[in-house]
Structures are given as structure tokens and as C-alpha cells.
């Protein structure tokens, strides 16, 4: 499960209780503190349900999302600086406020030179120093722009492309990424040889989020294309480019060719199409066009024996474009994207143009976020572990970590027990599935080790330079892992990220501290709401190990077909039924959810909810659930699940998610409940109601 955002940075983001960096827990009372006179009785648990947000005039069986969230949906306004709002945003705001408080405390302390705290303060200060940014103009970009101007031939173009290769996102967990770089490098364990890390070369090259923005005939996408060309012209003119209109047209035409060359999201999710190890010396034969020797030398990859071509056909076509398209067009393309990528840290005129397109046009956002919020997000992006180490010391108590780990244990047990109850699965496949569940590595809160930023230079008056150096630092960090044994405890999210992730090649999961907050997780709430909200998310991530992609990996995280043919066929048939169920949903007139594109997430939602429900009942220890606020335990469980997915999005943002994201929008994710028999019994859902499915039509996969 991931939250995605348009540029410039991903969604995200203490003081020390002790001088050591080892004890990452909340401050505890000293051992010699006087005892309390008498322990106060524990307060009764709350229901954890937003009763005021419900709309009980709606029949649960007709529209469960509206039943759980209707009043909230009617009365909630999307903040002007956001494309959407909902529970994730509520929790994110809390984390953002905490980060702001931490920053203010650090600034008052005046941290020592060379410390992580100093880097954090200086990075933030540079971002906030608008006068310095205005004075600098394009000067910080001059080395990059001069390098583009100096390209004389195909080898020079290849060297430049290699020198700007950046670390890319995980293609398994974030297939909706986009980058202006023609290629990206992802580093992780080999799909089959798990003993060492390898590099995965990924397609890129687009300035809009997905190839469908270029190729779709949908009127909204046509409008985006028109606006993108207008934005290109404006940005080039702002930078003093002559013939801006002609150059923008040529750049856009090149990106259109790149879009045609790229693989679709569905194809990118097919792990078997991705497993293409190419010897580095064979790239010239496999994908002629680029001077690959020059490219790999400039990227620092010439000493690698093999790289994996994740989208081989796309890499071939993109390489051919490098040789076939005019060198002058490539240089204009590279100049535009050098400015475009860093526009948020250029003078206000550039930043405003970028926001007008990426914020307003693509997402419908009407106001730019306050600069301090953008500064926090950028600091968090480039110094994530340094910020996270402070965050968890201040805001993540050991008691919460222990409580969530106990829930994880219960949900894993429920999943294993559920495997035993599958009548269609053979004993051999059951054995492998249970082994995988038993070997899952579940990381809660924060990593065991932290990133070392000692070699990252941060200056208090060089905002754009700081981001450029951070980009290079991240690439060097990832490149340094090549050929080494994978770290089984490596985290792919910072603790202050409001999100969670499953890592198939590690058979592991990350549950960052920041998502373990109310209403997802409330240590004061009754178990029903916690299992329905964060428990379903935990179950979701566990189930990713067994979705249409995760089921391809074994207990060690190796690409390994551990299914009998009969079991695989049954699994595929059930998955096809779930895909068809989501194909029928229509978030906007004429725009349906792509059930195949969202299949992995939908499988994880369904299986995770089922496992969390079983685990909740196990947690009762045979006792009846209490009635709280007039709601039974099962009612609170399902309502908490639906309220966790409450979302209100602008039309542009909703369209963007449906077209280019592997997650269905929250409103339709909440309808997972219609596949669970217990939901029907809990809310008296009857035949004839809109969400009713006959028992034989309810999908159960795990």
C-alpha cells in the first residue's frame, strides 16, 4: 500500500531522550521515581468510530461507503493546497505538525557543525531563503546546462544520459512512478540469485505521470496534453530560450515517441516479463542506439557484469530513439527537463509555473502549499533517516510498537490458519504458503540501523545545490549496494512516512511509526476498530506476499513457482473474478477502474480484511465483544475499515489515480466488504440491495 503524489517529492515526514542513538523509545520515568499512591482504574475503551461522520439514512447494503462516511463526505472540504483529503491526510497532518515542532526546537538549539541536526536545520533554512533563491536565478543549474550545451555527438549524449542516471523507485511496489530521466536504476536482491544485489534498469523519460497521459483519447487527457505544451513554452521563455514554441513542440513530440515506447503498468507488474538479466557488454546488441560503453562509464556501472532489463522492449525502443532523433531536439529536451525537475527550488516565477501545471492542471489543487510545508517535505525527502531518528525518539512509544507487533502476530497466525482451511489447495502448496508466512519479516516503527549522511554536504544558502547533491548521494548509496549481500532488515520507507509496504524480494514488510496513529491505530480504542483499521492494513501487507505478484516469490524472497498447476489455475480463476468485480466500478462517467491494473492491491485488501477479522475474533479469547456506542464488535470492525478509506478527491486527482495508479480509489476499496459473509450477517444485507452478491459470487482467494 502506498500513497502517491505528484512532484516534486513523495508524501512523507524529537528531542533526544538520551544521548545514545540506540534506544529509540519514548522517554521513560527514572527507575527511582516515587511510586503512585494508587493505580487509577483503566479507562473504558472508546469505540474508535466516527459516529458523526456516518449517514445512517443510507442502507448499508446499498452503499456501505456512504453509510460509514456519508456525513463526512458531505461536510468536508478539500484544503486548497491539496488534491484530496481523508484519513491518510489527517494522520499526515499530525506528523507534519510534529516535524514542524521538531524543526523549531532544533533551530533554537543551534546544532553543532557536521551533525545530522545541523544538516536538517541548514537544509530547511536554505529552502526557506527565498531571497537567496531569487538572487541565484538559474546559476545553480549552470553546470548542468553547460554540460547539455557541450554535447556534440551520440557518445556525448550517451555520456550525459549516464551521468544523470538517478536512483529509481521499486518497480514492484510503485509502478506509477515517472521520471524525466530516460532510465532509472533500482537496486535489490536478484530475483533468482538472492545472494547479491543487482541493478534493475527501468524505463523513464516522461514529464507527465504515465504513458496514458500522452496516448489516451479521453478529453481530460487531451486537455492535459494541451496544458503541458503551454507549460513547456512558458518555462522555456522564462529561461530565456529563443524559439520557445518550436522547441516545446519538438520536445513534446519526442516525449510522445517515448510514451509509445514505454510498457504499460499491467505489463510492468508482470514479474516474468521483467526477469531479463543482460550482460553489460551485450547492451549494445540487445538495445542498439545508445553508446552503452559511454553511458555505463558515466553512470559508474562499467564494472557491473549484469543488469536486469525490467522492461526490455521499452529499453530497446528508447535506446533506438536516442540514435534516431535529432541531437538538437535531445539537447532541448534535456535542458527543459533540467529546469523542470528543479523548478520548485528555482525563483518564484519558475516554481509558480510548475505548480500551475503539476498542481492545478494535473491534480486540481487551487493553492500552493505553504513554503514551510514544502521545506519540511524536501528536508524529509533528502534527510529522511536523520529526521526519522529524531521523530521516533519523541513520538513513538515502545508500548505502541509492542501492541502493533502483537496484532501482527495474531494476523499472521490467522493467515496461516486460513491456509489450512482452503479446501481447493493441495497439501504441497499449503506447506509452501505456510512456510512463507512463517518466515515473513515484519518491521514495525523504525529500522534497526540508520543512514550515514556524513559525506552529504548541506549548505544553509544553497537550496537547489542541496537537492542536487542529495540526488547524487542517494544514487551513490544505491550503487554502492551492487554486488553485495542484501540487508534483510533494510527499510524502504522512513519512520515518519504515513504508509506501509510489502517487499517481495525480502519477504518483509515495513510499518512506519507515523501510520500507527489514530484513527488507524489508537491504543485507547477497542480492539474491533484497531483490527478493522490498522489490522486490515497489516493484513493487506501480509497478503501482498500472496497476491498475483507476491505469490511468485518463495519464503526466501526468490522468484520461484511453488504452486501446483491445479492450484495456480484455481488462484487465477478467483483473481479474474475479482478483477471483473472492479472493472464494473465507474468513478467518473465513462472512466472505469482497471481491475487487472489494481488486482494485486484488491487481492491484498480482500485477504487482509479476512485475516484481520479472524484475528480480531481470536483476540476476544472466547469472550463476547462489548457493545460500545450502540455498536457491536463486528459493526465497529467493518465501520473502522470503511472509515479508514474515506477519501475526497478533486476530479483531476481522481482521474489521475484511476488512470495511472495500481490502487483503486478509497471509496471503492471500502467495498471489499461485499465479499465477506460476516459483513452480510452484521448489517443484514439482503438480496436486492445494490452491493449484494450471491454467496457463490463472493470472491475468496486466501
| Dihedral Cα 279, 174, 590, 65, nearest 10 deg | 150
Q: How distant is the alpha carbon of residue 363 from its chain centre?
A: 17
**What are 348-386's pLDDT values in tens digits?**
999 999 999 999 999 999 999 999 999 999 999 999 999
Q: Quick one: angle between helices 327-341 and 154-163, nearest 10? A: 20
Residue 421 is predicted with a pLDDT of 87
- Secondary structure of 287-331 in HEC code, one letter for each residue: CECECHHHHHHHHCCCCCCEEEECCHHHHHHHHHHHHHCCHHHHH
Q: Is 392 left (phi over 0), alpha (psi -120 to 50) or beta?
A: alpha
CATH classification of 138-345, choosing from 1.10.1380.10, 1.20.970.10, 3.40.50.300, 3.40.190.10?
A: 1.10.1380.10
**What are 265-296's pLDDT values in tens digits?**
889 988 889 999 999 999 999 999 999 999 99
Strands 647-649 and 501-503, sheet pairing: unpaired
| Cell digits of residue 149 | 550545451
The pTM score is: 0.86
Residue 323 has pLDDT above 80, yes or no: yes
Q: Is the dihedral of CA 306, 311, 313, 316 positive or negative?
A: negative
**What are 649-699's pLDDT values in tens digits?**
999 999 989 998 899 999 999 999 999 999 999 999 999 999 999 999 999
- What residue spans of 153-218 are helical by DSSP H? 154-163, 212-215
CA separation for the pair 618, 626 (Å, rounded): 14
Residue 153, phi then psi, degrees to nearest 5: -160, -175
Residues 6 or more apart whose Cβ sits within 8 Å of residue 476: none
Q: How far apart are the first and last CA of the chain?
A: 18
**What are 17-66's pLDDT values in tens digits?**
222 222 222 222 223 333 333 444 557 789 999 999 999 999 999 999 99
Residue 2 is predicted with a pLDDT of 33
| Cell digits of residue 145 | 546546462
Residue 169 is predicted with a pLDDT of 60
pLDDT band at residue 702, thresholds of 50, 70 and 90? confident
CA separation for the pair 80, 395 (Å, rounded): 28
Residues 6 or more apart whose Cβ sits within 8 Å of residue 493: 499, 500, 501, 510, 512
pLDDT band at residue 561, thresholds of 50, 70 and 90? confident
CA neighbor of 547 nearest in space, from 497, 474, 598: 598
CA neighbor of 637 nearest in space, from 672, 666, 662: 672
**What are 58-113's pLDDT values in tens digits?**
999 999 999 999 999 999 999 999 999 999 999 999 999 999 999 999 999 999 99
Residue 195 has pLDDT above 70, yes or no: yes
Identical fold, 67-100+398-449+485-697 and 138-345: no
Residue 41 is predicted with a pLDDT of 52
Residue 44 is predicted with a pLDDT of 77
In contact, 526 and 520? CB cutoff 8 Å: no
Q: Is the dihedral of CA 592, 597, 600, 603 positive or negative?
A: positive
DSSP for 329-370 reads HHHHHHHHHHHHHTGGGS-HHHHHHHIIIIIIIHH---SPPP
pLDDT band at residue 170, thresholds of 50, 70 and 90? low
Give the number of other CB atoms < 10 A from CB of residue 296. Answer: 22
In contact, 206 and 214? CB cutoff 8 Å: yes
**What are 621-652's pLDDT values in tens digits?**
999 999 999 999 999 999 999 999 999 999 99
Q: Which helix (H) or strand (E) holds 85?
A: strand 84-86
CA separation for the pair 664, 598 (Å, rounded): 6
Q: Chain-wide mean pLDDT for the chain?
A: 90
pLDDT band at residue 546, thresholds of 50, 70 and 90? confident
Residue 246 has pLDDT above 70, yes or no: yes
CA separation for the pair 610, 604 (Å, rounded): 10
| Cell digits of residue 559 | 522468484
Q: Which fold has domain 67-100+398-449+485-697?
A: Collagenase (Catalytic Domain) (3.40.390)
- The domain limits of the chain are 67-100+398-449+485-697, 138-345
CA neighbor of 161 nearest in space, from 180, 138, 187: 180
Residue 42 is predicted with a pLDDT of 56
| Cell digits of residue 447 | 529500522
CA separation for the pair 103, 124 (Å, rounded): 8
- Secondary structure of 591-648 in HEC code, one letter for each residue: ECCCCCCCHHHHHHHHHHHHHHHHHHHHHCCCCCCCCECCECHHHHHHHHHHHHCCEE
CA separation for the pair 15, 105 (Å, rounded): 8
Residue 174 is predicted with a pLDDT of 40
| 102-106, 270-274, 461-465, 547-551: segment of lowest average pLDDT | 547-551
Amino acid at each position: 500500500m502506498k500513497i502517491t503524489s505528484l512532484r516534486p517529492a513523495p508524501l512523507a515526514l524529537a528531542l533526544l531522550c538520551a544521548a545514545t542513538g540506540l534506544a529509540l523509545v519514548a522517554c521513560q520515568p527514572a527507575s527511582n521515581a516515587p511510586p503512585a499512591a494508587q493505580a487509577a482504574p483503566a479507562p473504558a475503551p472508546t469505540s474508535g468510530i466516527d459516529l458523526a461522520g456516518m449517514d445512517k439514512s443510507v442502507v448499508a447494503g446499498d452503499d456501505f461507503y456512504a453509510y460509514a462516511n456519508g456525513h463526512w463526505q458531505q461536510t468536508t472540504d478539500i484544503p486548497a493546497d491539496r488534491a484530496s483529503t481523508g484519513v491518510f491526510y489527517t494522520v499526515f497532518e499530525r506528523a507534519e505538525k510534529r516535524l514542524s515542532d521538531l524543526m523549531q526546537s532544533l533551530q533554537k538549539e543551534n546544532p553543532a557543525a557536521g551533525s545530522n541536526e545541523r544538516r536538517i536545520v541548514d537544509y530547511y533554512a536554505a529552502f526557506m531563503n527565498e531571497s537567496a533563491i531569487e538572487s541565484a536565478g538559474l546559476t545553480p543549474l549552470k553546470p548542468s546546462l553547460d554540460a547539455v550545451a557541450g554535447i556534440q555527438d551520440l557518445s556525448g549524449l550517451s555520456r550525459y544520459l549516464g551521468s544523470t542516471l538517478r536512483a529509481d523507485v521499486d518497480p514492484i511496489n510503485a509502478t506509477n512512478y515517472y521520471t524525466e530521466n530516460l532510465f532509472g536504476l533500482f537496486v535489490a536482491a536478484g530475483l533468482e540469485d538472492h545472494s547479491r544485489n543487482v541493478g534493475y534498469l527501468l524505463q523513464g523519460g516522461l514529464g507527465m505521470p504515465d504513458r496514458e497521459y500522452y496516448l489516451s483519447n479521453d478529453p481530460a487527457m487531451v486537455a492535459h496534453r494541451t496544458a503541458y505544451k503551454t507549460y513547456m513554452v512558458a518555462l522555456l521563455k522564462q529561461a530565456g530560450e529563443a524559439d520557445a514554441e518550436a522547441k516545446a513542440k519538438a520536445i513534446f513530440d519526442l516525449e510522445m515517441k517515448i510514451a509509445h515506447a514505454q510498457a504499460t503498468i499491467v505489463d510492468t507488474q508482470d514479474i516474468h516479463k521483467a526477469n531479463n538479466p543482460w550482460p553489460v557488454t551485450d547492451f549494445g546488441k540487445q538495445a542498439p542506439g545508445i553508446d552503452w560503453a559511454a553511458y555505463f562509464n558515466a553512470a559508474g556501472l562499467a564494472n557491473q557484469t549484469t543488469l536486469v532489463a525490467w522492461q526490455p522492449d521499452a529499453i530497446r525502443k528508447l535506446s533506438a530513439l536516442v540514435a534516431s532523433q535529432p541531437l538538437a531536439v535531445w539537447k532541448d529536451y534535456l535542458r527543459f527537463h533540467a529546469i523542470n525537475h528543479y523548478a520548485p527550488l528555482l525563483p518564484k516565477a519558475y516554481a509558480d509555473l510548475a505548480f500551475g501545471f503539476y498542481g492545478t492542471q494535473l491534480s486540481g489543487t487551487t493553492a500552493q502549499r505553504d513554503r514551510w510545508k514544502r521545506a519540511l517535505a524536501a528536508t524529509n525527502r533528502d534527510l529522511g533517516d536523520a529526521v526519522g531518528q529524531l521523530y521516533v525518539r519523541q513520538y513513538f512509544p515502545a508500548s505502541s510498537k509492542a501492541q502493533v507487533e502483537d496484532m501482527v502476530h495474531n494476523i499472521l497466525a490467522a493467515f496461516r490458519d486460513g491456509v489450512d482451511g482452503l479446501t481447493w489447495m493441495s497439501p504441497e502448496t499449503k506447506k509452501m504458503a505456510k512456510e512463507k508466512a512463517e518466515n515473513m519479516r515484519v518491521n514495525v516503527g523504525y529500522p534497526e540501523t540508520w543512514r550515514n549522511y556524513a559525506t552529504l554536504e548541506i549548505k544553509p544558502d544553497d537550496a537547489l545545490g542541496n537537492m542536487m547533491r542529495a540526488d547524487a548521494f542517494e544514487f551513490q548509496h544505491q550503487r554502492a549496494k551492487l554486488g553485495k549481500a542484501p540487508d534483510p532488515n533494510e527499510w524502504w520507507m522512513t519512520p515518519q512516512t504515513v504508509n506501509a509496504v510489502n517487499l517481495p524480494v525480502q519477504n518483509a514488510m515495513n510499518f512506519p511509526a507515523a501510520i500507527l496513529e489514530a484513527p488507524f491505530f489508537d491504543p485507547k480504542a477497542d480492539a474491533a476498530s484497531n483490527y478493522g483499521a490498522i489490522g486490515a492494513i497489516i493484513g493487506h501487507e501480509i497478503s501482498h506476499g500472496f497476491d498475483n505478484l507476491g505469490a511468485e516469490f518463495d519464503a526466501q524472497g526468490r522468484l520461484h513457482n511453488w504452486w501446483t498447476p491445479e492450484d495456480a489455475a484455481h488462484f487465477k480463476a478467483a483473481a479474474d473474478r475479482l478483477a471483473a468485480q472492479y472493472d464494473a466500478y465507474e468513478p467518473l462517467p465513462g472512466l472505469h477502474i482497471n481491475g487487472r491494473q489494481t488486482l494485486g492491491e484488491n487481492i491484498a485488501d480482500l485477504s487482509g480484511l479476512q485475516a484481520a477479522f479472524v484475528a480480531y475474533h481470536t483476540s476476544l479469547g472466547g469472550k463476547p465483544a462489548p457493545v460500545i456506542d450502540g455498536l457491536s464488535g463486528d459493526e465497529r470492525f467493518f465501520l473502522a475499515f470503511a472509515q479508514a478509506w474515506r477519501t475526497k478527491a478533486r476530479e483531476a486527482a481522481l482521474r489521475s489515480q484511476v488512470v495511472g495508479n495500481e490502487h483503486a480509489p478509497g471509496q471503492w476499496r471500502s467495498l471489499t466488504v461485499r465479499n465477506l459473509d460476516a459483513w452480510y450477517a452484521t448489517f443484514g444485507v439482503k438480496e436486492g440491495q445494490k452491493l449484494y452478491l450471491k454467496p457463490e459470487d463472493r470472491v475468496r482467494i486466501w
